[in-house]
Amino acid sequence: MPLHDRLIRALASIAKLSAGEIETISALPLRVVEVEPNVDVVHEGASTHTSCLVLDGLLCRHKSVAGRRQILSLHPSGDIPDLHSLYLSVMDAALGPLLPSRVAFISHRDIREAIRREPGVGATLWRVTLIDGAIFRSWLASVGRRSAHHRLAHLYCEMFVRLEARGLTDAASFFLPLTQIDLADALGLSPVHINRTLQDLRRQGVLAPRGRYYGFDNWDRLQRAAEFDPGYLNLCPPGPV
């Protein structure tokens, strides 16, 4: 699959793209890099003149307060986790891989040029950052007000729906390749509590083991346990862009 297709598919899952827009996006120069876990791609406080497209693997934004890490967002293939650096000069959180991953840097200059030539690209990228915000609101509500069981189930729902919208997975093979430590840092819980909650959810048939990780056998049961409503992801039927 050509590199740009990952981005195109991600964008197509949230907006209608014209032929010209697809062409413009496909022409963006990419600088490809392989990255490993525990080595941040972009550091907190950094000023960049590029944004980072995830090609393969899984990245996250994270920041540490009082010595404790909080994972702020998860970014599978097709995401541009630091697209906001296009208009915010300093990174307020670090960006790092959770798996061995491949990313591509796109210069802000090239992105701005693409937007100038195809204003629709600007609207779509703006929409990307707005959906990013909607996901933050959902996570904030989760961490603030949902139980541990609830939070965990909701995260599995969200990631499945996001991946499926890009054709990157299916229910039979889906699992989240996150360590229990990562899950803890994403959900604002301790690893020990994640461990026990995962066991509960497995016993309840909400989640199901998939090798080292967890997936699900029964989407309805998972969705009900999570009270999951995918509306906030603003997928597919594109809004009035």
Among 45, 191, 205, 209, binds a second copy (CB under 8 A): 45
Among 22, 181, 208, 233, binds DNA (CB under 7 A): 181
Nearest residue to 198 (alpha-carbon basis) of 177, 220, 183, 219: 183
Q: How far is CA 41 from the centre of its chain?
A: 15
- Please tell me whether residue 127 binds DNA under the rule CB under 7 A: no
In whole angstroms, how close is the CB of 91 to a second copy at the nearest point? Answer: 9
Phi and psi at residue 224, to the nearest 5°: -65, -40
Question: Could you tell which of a second copy, DNA, none binds residue 199, using a CB distance below 5 to 8 A set by kind?
Answer: DNA
- The residue (of 102 and 193) whose beta carbon lies closer to DNA is 193
In whole angstroms, how close is the CB of 2 to a second copy at the nearest point? Answer: 27
- Please tell me whether residue 198 binds DNA under the rule CB under 7 A: yes
Strand partners, 50: 107
Residues 129-168 within binding reach of DNA (CB under 7 A): 147-148
Nearest residue to 21 (alpha-carbon basis) of 10, 30, 8, 9: 8
Binding mask 131-170 for a second copy (x = CB under 8 A): xxxx-xxxxxxxxxxxx--x--------------------
Q: Which stretch binds a second copy (CB under 8 A): 25-33, 119-127, 166-174, 200-208?
A: 119-127
Instruction: Region of 5 please: left (phi>0), alpha (psi -120 to 50) or beta.
Output: alpha
Among 16, 193, 210, 221, binds DNA (CB under 7 A): 193
Report residue 157 as tokens. Answer: 């729902």
Maximum C-alpha span of the chain: 54
Q: Which stretch binds a second copy (CB under 8 A): 2-10, 130-138, 163-171, 195-203?
A: 130-138
Whole-angstrom distance, CA of residue 7 vs CA of residue 55? 8
- Strand order in 31-35's β-sheet? 31-35, 101-107, 50-56
- Please tell me whether residue 228 binds a second copy under the rule CB under 8 A: no
